[in-house]
Each structure stands twice: as structure tokens, then as C-alpha cells.
Amino acid sequence: MSETGSGRPHGVDHAPAAENVEYRVAHLRDRLAAEELGELGVRAEVRAGSVVVTGTVPSAQCRETLLRTVHEELDGLSVHTDVVVAETASPDHAEDLP
């Protein structure tokens, strides 16, 4: 086996790379909770080599800000998002009950 620039043979599992992904996801979680978003209803976790971001946000603007933040923090990683906007508008008509 030949070695990589880090002195490790090619084909050997690189645990630091996995730790780096976990660190980046943890940093994303911190940003989501601490910054103007304050989005505690959004989850980010590593599944099968990809990062999955799921949850509900109160507005389309929050969703765009969230997706931009995810892109900034996890650039270069495989990321799947399933983030929906909560319907908070009042109904436009009365509900008809039987």
C-alpha cells in the first residue's frame, strides 16, 4: 500500500475525517440554537455518510436563512434537507362543522 500525505496507507479508514463531520454538525447545531435563528426545532445528524437536516421553521425567510447557514457550515459534505415551513396564517374562511 502506498501512503497518503498524512503518512497513512491508502484504503485505511480515516477516523479523523468522521470526527471532523461530527464536529461540523455539532458546530451547526450550536449556530442554529445561538444565532438569530434560534431554531431548536431543527435536527442535524449524520446518517450513512451524509448529514440529514430535518425540522419545521416558522417562515420561508427562516428556511432560507437556515439553508444558507447549513451550506456555510457543511460545505463539501453530502447534505439532505427536509425542512418545512409551519402554516401560521389565520384561516381565510370559517370551518364548517356538521
Which three three-digit cell numbers place residue 20? 471532523
Task: With a cut of 90, say whether residue 79 has pLDDT above it.
Answer: yes
Q: Rounded mean pLDDT of 48-60?
A: 90
CA distance 49 to 57: 25
The pTM of the full predicted model, rounded to 2 decimals, is 0.68
Question: For 71-77, which contacts have Cβ atoms below 8 Å and span 24 or more sequence positions?
Answer: 73/24, 73/27, 73/28, 73/31, 74/24, 74/25, 74/28, 77/21, 77/24, 77/50, 77/51
Using the predicted structure, report yes or no on whether residue 30 has a pLDDT greater than 50: yes
Q: At residue 32, what are phi and psi to the nearest 5 degrees?
A: -65, -35
